[in-house]
Amino acid sequence: MGISNLIFAVILGAAAFLFGKNVLKIKRNIMLGRDLDRSDRSFDRWMTMARVALGQSKMVVRPVAGFLHILVYVGFVIINIEVLEIVIDGLIGTHRAFAFMGVLYDFLIGSFEILAFLVLVSCLIFLIRRNIIQIKRFVMKEMDGWPKTDANLILIFEVLLMSAFLLMQGADLSLQRIGADHYIQAGSFPISSFLAPLFDGMSMEAVYGYERGLWWFHILGILVFLNYLPYSKHFHIILAFPNTYYSKLEPKGAFTNMESVTKEVQMMMDPNADPFSSPVEVADDEEPQRFGAKDVNDLNWLQLMNAYSCTECGRCTSECPANQTGKLLSPRKIMMDTRDRLEEYGANLDENGKDSEDGKFLLDDYVSREELWACTSCNACTQACPLNIDPLSIILDMRRYLVMEESAAPTELNMMFSNVENNGAPWQFPAVDRLNWKDEA
């Protein structure tokens, strides 16, 4: 092991440590949410994950974007096999450690090159769609500033990494052709063979310098990209799998009830119940939970995982009827606001301790009441999401807080509540008059 291998080992270890530390911080933030049991129907959950996350079934609803995304997804996953070889070479000083596989190795390297080229082309098309064509869902208000920069940085990262890989392959092929030591005849080069002539006429030392420089740029770029993920919406490439596994399996129109409210109603309906007993056991040192959600710690851990899993693709918002009619609501913004508030909430805990409060809340400071009441609860956003994210559940929990904790429902809803309480129905007349219409027929 030479000095370069030692340097690489130190860099690799530091990158892995930093990535692990940031992942643990995200996990801690997610687990700040309320408990939720999603241990049921494991077979259905595995099938959902395989179909939605692995099979990309909901991406292809929009064929162009879906096809391009699948190319990037498959290419990114499979090319990581080549990254494994690069890591081994960097640690022990070999070159093309898997070359012993012979014809299979040639096939793999050729496949990697074709996929790298397709990823490169797809990312360029995505950049054009976002910045030149400016598809509407990519230029909405919530995408101003960092979200737009983040999306472009990810695409530029991938363009640079794939370009460096192909150029590195071209330099390697050139060194193989001129018989350089340590560069064995191995691999297939369907794309980089067109790049190898760029190095014709150079000295062996110059080509070797380019090849090593591109090798370091490629692997260091991957490690930098790896540690960029926890700060980016691109973290969904990791969370897509648990997020779809734990996603809601019940019909989308099925709403959840709060256990405390359900027990309260059951007690009211039971003539033998003790009215002075608490329907929900609360520990002496535990504060009663809010009805609904005012801040991120009132949401459950899956809702918080949803926020970190959001790709900011905007399919939810583009399908939202409220947004289409000019209302303030954007389901994508709800998820982005939840993630931003959770990051802020977690940072405050790190700085000031678990009992500290920063005086801010998800409600009002991030998400306005106008946004919440614009929602029609149609579930179009949940249906459209490629990762089964459920923005509606967050909206409904926040509206539940407004109604049950602040009695802050719109006038129309308060009238309906009064009618249900007084008349047993949402209409403004007593039950005895409900059939009067037949006398007028």
pLDDT at 382 (0 to 100): 94
Residue 103 lies in a domain: yes
CATH of the domain at 400: 1.10.1060
Domain end residue (candidates: 190, 211, 245) = 245
Residues 345 and 213 in one domain: no
Say whether pLDDT at 325 is over 60: yes
Q: What is the DSSP letter of 233?
A: G
Give residue 201's pLDDT band: very low, low, confident or very high (50, 70, 90): confident
How many angstroms separate the CA atoms of 354 and 381, rounded? 34
Residues 219 and 329 in one domain: no
**Model confidence over 261-290: pLDDT tens digits?**
787 777 777 777 766 665 555 555 556 678
Placement of tokens 């407004």 in the chain: 402
User: What residues pair up with 367 in beta bridges, in sequence order?
Assistant: 363
How many angstroms separate the CA atoms of 227 and 222, rounded? 9
Domain range enclosing 332 = 259-266+290-430
Residue 388 lies in a domain: yes
* Closest to 258 (Cα-Cα) out of 409, 405, 375: 405
Residues 176 and 299 in one domain: no
User: How many CB atoms sit inside 10 A of residue 123's CB?
Assistant: 23
Residues 224 and 369 in one domain: no
Say whether pLDDT at 406 is over 70: yes
pLDDT at 296 (0 to 100): 96
Cα separations in angstroms, 182 against 28, 93, 102, 164, 244: 47, 10, 17, 21, 46
* Closest to 318 (Cα-Cα) out of 376, 256, 380, 397: 380
Average pLDDT, the chain: 89
Of residues 332 and 412, the one with the higher pLDDT is 332
Residue 250 lies in a domain: no
Q: Which two tokens stand for residue 236?
A: 């969904």
* Total number of domains constituting the chain: 2
Residues 70 and 175 in one domain: yes
User: How many CB atoms sit inside 10 A of residue 99's CB?
Assistant: 16
**Model confidence over 31-52: pLDDT tens digits?**
999 999 999 999 999 999 999 9
Say whether pLDDT at 203 is over 80: yes
Q: Which two tokens stand for residue 73?
A: 């997804």
Residue 36 lies in a domain: no
Q: What is the mean pLDDT of residues 355-368?
A: 91
Of residues 181 and 51, the one with the higher pLDDT is 51
Say whether pLDDT at 356 is over 90: no
Residue 271 lies in a domain: no
Residues 235 and 381 in one domain: no
Placement of tokens 């006038």 in the chain: 411
pLDDT at 336 (0 to 100): 96
Backbone Cα Rg of the chain? 28
Domain end residue (candidates: 245, 279, 305) = 245
In three-state secondary structure terms, 250 is coil
Residues 238 and 301 in one domain: no
Q: Which two tokens stand for residue 147?
A: 């979200």
How many angstroms separate the CA atoms of 238 and 42, rounded? 20
Residue 441 lies in a domain: no
* Closest to 28 (Cα-Cα) out of 298, 343, 240: 343
Residues 391 and 330 in one domain: yes
pLDDT at 279 (0 to 100): 54
Residues 233 and 301 in one domain: no
Residue 50 lies in a domain: no
Of residues 438 and 139, the one with the higher pLDDT is 139
Residues 235 and 319 in one domain: no
Residues 406 and 301 in one domain: yes
**Model confidence over 106-132: pLDDT tens digits?**
999 999 999 999 999 999 999 999 999
Please give the helix or strand (H or E) that residue 385 lies within, else none: none
User: What percentage of residues in the chain have a pLDDT greater than 70?
Assistant: 96
Least confident of 33-42, 217-226, 416-425: 416-425
Q: What is the mean pLDDT of residues 241-259?
A: 86
Give residue 411's pLDDT band: very low, low, confident or very high (50, 70, 90): confident
CATH of the domain at 230: 1.20.950
Residues 335 and 396 in one domain: yes
Placement of tokens 């054009």 in the chain: 128
Residue 223 lies in a domain: yes
Q: Judge residue 345's burial from the number of C-beta atoms within 10 Å of its C-beta, 0-12 exposed, 13-18 middle, 19 or more buried.
A: buried
The pTM for the full model equals 0.87
**Model confidence over 369-404: pLDDT tens digits?**
999 999 999 999 999 999 999 999 999 999 999 998
For 23-31, the CB contacts below 8 A with 24+ separation are 23/230, 23/238, 25/230, 25/346, 26/230, 26/235, 26/308, 28/346, 29/304, 29/308, 29/342, 29/343, 29/345, 29/346, 30/301, 30/304, 30/305, 30/308, 31/301
